[in-house]
Amino acid sequence: MSREIFAQLFFDIGNGFNENDSIKIPIGFGDIKIEFDISEIRSIKNLRLDPVNIPCVISQLNISYKNHKNEKLPLGYYLIGKGDLDGDEFLFFHSDPIFIINWDSSIETNTINVSFYNADSVDILTKYRNLVFPKIDSSLEFHLEEIKRLSKSTNAKVSAFDGEINYQQTQISKIKQHLSSLEKFESHLQKIQEISPIDGNLESSPKQKSLNQKDKQLEKLMIEKTVCQKEAKKLNRKLSSLEKRYDKVKTLLIRAETLLEAKGVEFKNTTNSLSAEIKILSEEKKSLLLEIETLTYTKNKHQILLKEIETLTRHI
């Protein structure tokens, strides 16, 4: 569906420029002559004209008002924001050209008259070719170089993330092996308790004391096991989140490379989004590395405790 093209006049009556205090008039291409009726508007402090709401080339812009004698008197204006000027021709690559009108609040009028030439696609390709195409080429060259730089940087970061994910997967695998060893040892202790009759008269025997000690160690080991399982689950969740963000970065990279091949002009938003995503991923990577260091410390404690229990078991 084609976009509606219109000119818009904003009037500041004490609330600044806003959509509610404005008038829109649909326009087309070619010679444009429009009249804004401001007869119902009081106490105008400033006026602003947005002649077109799409990227455009306009020329011969004239703004005037009618006095009480119905005479047309010119109003000056000046450009706000980005726009390229060549004589009386204005080139806008964005959809929000803004002109501030030199307005005097003492002026009494019912209408603001605006006329200009709004170039169509044929005009841009012929009459205004020398104005438009050098600007497009210059803009494209800048964005292409920026995309190439970001593409190279992102490829390096993706490679680093590949290594980090592989490392984390290895850590998780080791944790799972450690948990499996703990479960086997727990099963072994339970079997020992089943085949060892516990009698009240034997509570003072060395064997019973050893079993009691093992029970306490087992209880401590089970607590450590629970903590380890929770840490493993937490790390799995973070790894899953990192993989999703990694996929998103790869998707953005593919999209950026596609834009590079097509020489589109919408590179800036994509590169900003990619840079922001990479920054977020970098922060999460730091956080995840701290989590891994903590988990590694816990794992080492578990390994020491496991060796002590194995030594105790051999002496029983």
Q: For residue 245, what pLDDT is reported?
A: 79
Q: Residues 263-287: pLDDT tens digits?
A: 555 555 655 665 666 667 667 777 7
- Mean pLDDT comparison of 1-15, 131-145, 156-170, 260-274, highest-scoring range: 1-15
- Give the integer Cα–Cα distance in Å for 21 and 8: 10
Q: Which is higher by pLDDT, 300 or 111? A: 111
The torsion angles phi and psi of 196, rounded to 5 degrees, stand at: -105, 105
CB contact at 8 A, 56 and 97: yes
Average pLDDT of the segment spanning 120-144: 66
Least confident of 6-10, 97-101, 123-127, 265-269: 265-269
Q: Are strands 98-101 and 77-80 parallel, antiparallel or unpaired?
A: antiparallel
pLDDT at 46 over 90: yes
Helix axes 129-195, 206-262, angle to 10 degrees: 170
Rg (CA), the chain: 37
CATH for the 135-315 domain, from 2.60.40, 1.10.760, 1.20.140, 1.10.3470: 1.20.140
CATH topology of domain 6-127: Immunoglobulin-like (2.60.40)
Q: For residue 281, what pLDDT is reported?
A: 65
CATH 1.20.140 residue ranges for the chain? 135-315
pLDDT at 77 over 90: yes
DSSP 4: P
pLDDT at 73 over 60: yes
Q: For residue 133, what pLDDT is reported?
A: 64
List the beta strands (DSSP E) in 19-55: 22-26, 30-37, 46-50
The torsion angles phi and psi of 60, rounded to 5 degrees, stand at: 55, 40
pLDDT at 18 over 50: yes
Nearest Cα to Cα of residue 97 among 16, 10, 14, 29: 10
CB contact at 8 A, 109 and 67: yes
Average pLDDT of the segment spanning 178-182: 74
CB contact at 8 A, 67 and 73: yes
Spatial neighbors of 150 by CB under 8 A, at least 6 apart, are 256, 271, 274, 275
Average pLDDT, the chain: 78
Q: For residue 121, what pLDDT is reported?
A: 73
- Give the integer Cα–Cα distance in Å for 192 and 204: 18
H or E stretch covering 59 = strand 56-66
Model pTM score: 0.43
Q: Which is higher by pLDDT, 314 or 206? A: 314
CATH 2.60.40 residue ranges for the chain? 6-127
